[in-house]
Amino acid sequence: MPDMEIENSSVSRAEEIKVLANEAFKVHKYAQAIDLYSKAIEINEHNAVYWANRAFAHTKLEEYGSAIQDASKAIEVDPKYSKGYYRRGAAYLAMGKFKEALKDFQQVKKLCPNDPDAAKKLKECEKAVMKLKFEEAISVPESERRSIADSIDFHSIDVEPQYSGARIEGDNVTLDFVKRMMDDFKNQKCLHKRYAFQIVLQTREMLQALPSLVDINIPDGKHFTVCGDVHGQFYDLLNIFELNGLPSEENPYLFNGDFVDRGSFSLEVILTLFAFKCMCPTAIYLSRGNHESKSMNKIYGFEGEVRSKLSETFVELFAEVFCCLPLAHVLNRKIFVVHGGLFSVDGVKLEDIKAIDRFREPPEEGLMCELLWSDPQPLPGRGPSKRGVGLSFGGDVTKKFLQENNLELVVRSHEVKDEGYEVEHDGKLITVFSAPNYCDQMGNKGAFIRFEAPDLKPDIVTFSAVPHPDVKPMAYANNFLRMFS
């Protein structure tokens, strides 16, 4: 067969695979779409469309680092292909890198001067950058910042006689109150700000006193449940309690970060978890996720939701309290539980984690960042993060960390899994994710893990999503980001 014919048949084969990839993308099978786009790229790497489409699929899986790489490759292949700049701008935006996003959208506008959609997105991006510059200009240095919590006296806030919702009598949060509050939330009623302040301030006091790495002791014959990301899916949280019982001293839980953002009932989720913490500190343990941070909350909905349902003061207060959340937990000196994953260097000891000064916004590198952001990879060693923050680490890294710290298992969350969980690294690492049908479109199951002492063998329970009121995910998110979701 002449060279030209071989080349033509390769090009048409790549196109056929691209069509299959597009079909997978349409039904939200993003990982499958990525595999298929990769096959098309192997056959014909000089087609910018394949790179840009794969970038879009990476964005859907929150793999923004990979999306930026692919979109940059699309631009390299065809510098006049506007979709390349568009996809890269959207990925920068999702990471909160507004200035980088602005440059790409300016380029889109230059290439498509008459496209009203490009003009609209550029305008929104310019507004976001202006707002950012304004906030930077008026921000007070960390060292001079006064705690918002210290300025709030919830006792002095009156509760109007017409308020008919849940009430805390005195200073103690009781089970009756929590049940009534959850019932009100289920019926889309709000909690009075006096009680919301009380719950958040009492939780802050408790969290402040904890170390950055918390040791949990589970007595023989007793059990303990670990849940992964909930992401504002309040009705699925209620379903977890339905399936596994309410948190109590006899039925303790650890929620492993990412309680908020994306789902539009994040306030209900966080107030419920905090209320159980106030009711009985040993009934529930809470670990920080990468979404318990200002930069994420500004983009993915929690900040907008709190502002809409409560007030600006609560936005600042939650940001402060999130900085008090511990970074990791160890169960019976055997199981290491963390939101994201392990480290870019060997030799990290539990004592090093305990020594982290966590009372801050997460930095962009170092141990604290890696605990919140890293992901496992199938290959040994370490690699760049597909998210653009943290790193990917192999089974050898997991094995060494466990050996050096005399531990048996890593449990982490942070990633959507089709079955709600995944066992990796020769059984030494389990990912657990507790937000089923994530963002109302991923079709995944949720899961939680029950451990019973003394052997602490993981018993994984999976569950499906339950209906919720018709408020879409990201309803309170940054305007600009909603344009791309």
**Confidence at residue 469, expressed as pLDDT on a 0 to 100 scale:** 97
Residue tagged 């990982």 (tokens) = 31
106: burial class by Cβ within 10 Å (0-12, 13-18, 19+)?
A: middle
Find the DSSP H helices in 187-233.
Answer: 193-208
The answer to whether 449 and 458 have CB atoms below 8 angstroms apart is: yes
- The predicted-structure confidence for 26-43, as pLDDT tens digits, reads as follows 999 999 999 999 999 999
Amino acid of residue 337? V
- The predicted-structure confidence for 88-118, as pLDDT tens digits, reads as follows 999 998 898 888 999 999 999 999 998 888 8
**Confidence at residue 483, expressed as pLDDT on a 0 to 100 scale:** 62
Indicate if the pLDDT at residue 1 is higher than 70: no
Helices and strands of the chain, counted as H and E runs: 18, 14
Cα separation, 403 vs 13, in Å, equals 48
Indicate if the pLDDT at residue 2 is higher than 50: no
**Confidence at residue 482, expressed as pLDDT on a 0 to 100 scale:** 63
Weakest-pLDDT range from 144-153, 241-250, 434-443: 144-153
The mean pLDDT value of the chain amounts to 94
Indicate if the pLDDT at residue 143 is higher than 70: no
Mean pLDDT of 268-297: 97
- The predicted-structure confidence for 317-356, as pLDDT tens digits, reads as follows 999 999 999 999 999 999 999 999 999 999 999 999 999 9
**Confidence at residue 146, expressed as pLDDT on a 0 to 100 scale:** 81
Q: What's the predicted TM-score (pTM) here?
A: 0.94
The tokens of 439 are what? 């963002």
Indicate if the pLDDT at residue 130 is higher than 90: no
Q: Specify the 3-state DSSP secondary structure of 140.
A: coil
Cα separation, 106 vs 400, in Å, equals 47
Q: Specify the 3-state DSSP secondary structure of 82.
A: helix
**Confidence at residue 5, expressed as pLDDT on a 0 to 100 scale:** 53
CA angle (316 as vertex; 312, 321 as ends), nearest 5: 140
Indicate if the pLDDT at residue 136 is higher than 80: no
The answer to whether 331 and 451 have CB atoms below 8 angstroms apart is: yes
Choosing from 291, 329, 414, 425, the catalytic residue is 291
Weakest-pLDDT range from 131-145, 265-279, 371-385: 131-145
Indicate if the pLDDT at residue 167 is higher than 70: yes
Mean pLDDT of 276-288: 98
**Confidence at residue 485, expressed as pLDDT on a 0 to 100 scale:** 56
**Confidence at residue 144, expressed as pLDDT on a 0 to 100 scale:** 65
CA angle (395 as vertex; 389, 400 as ends), nearest 5: 100
The answer to whether 364 and 314 have CB atoms below 8 angstroms apart is: no
Res. 134 pLDDT band, cuts 50 70 90:
confident
Indicate if the pLDDT at residue 60 is higher than 70: yes
Indicate if the pLDDT at residue 484 is higher than 70: no
Cβ-based neighbour number of residue 363 at 10 Å: 11
**Confidence at residue 478, expressed as pLDDT on a 0 to 100 scale:** 73
Instruction: Count Cβ neighbours within 10 Å for each residue of 399-426 and write b for 16 or more, e otherwise.
Output: bbbbeebebebbbbbbbbbeebbeebbe
Q: Judge whether 223 counts as a catalytic residue.
A: no
Query: Of all residues in the chain, what percent carry a pLDDT higher than 70?
Result: 96
Res. 278 pLDDT band, cuts 50 70 90:
very high
Indicate if the pLDDT at residue 480 is higher than 80: no
Kindly give, in sequence order, each residue whose CB lies less than 8 Å from that of residue 56, ignoring residues fewer than 6 positions away. Answer: 25, 67, 87
Indicate if the pLDDT at residue 314 is higher than 70: yes
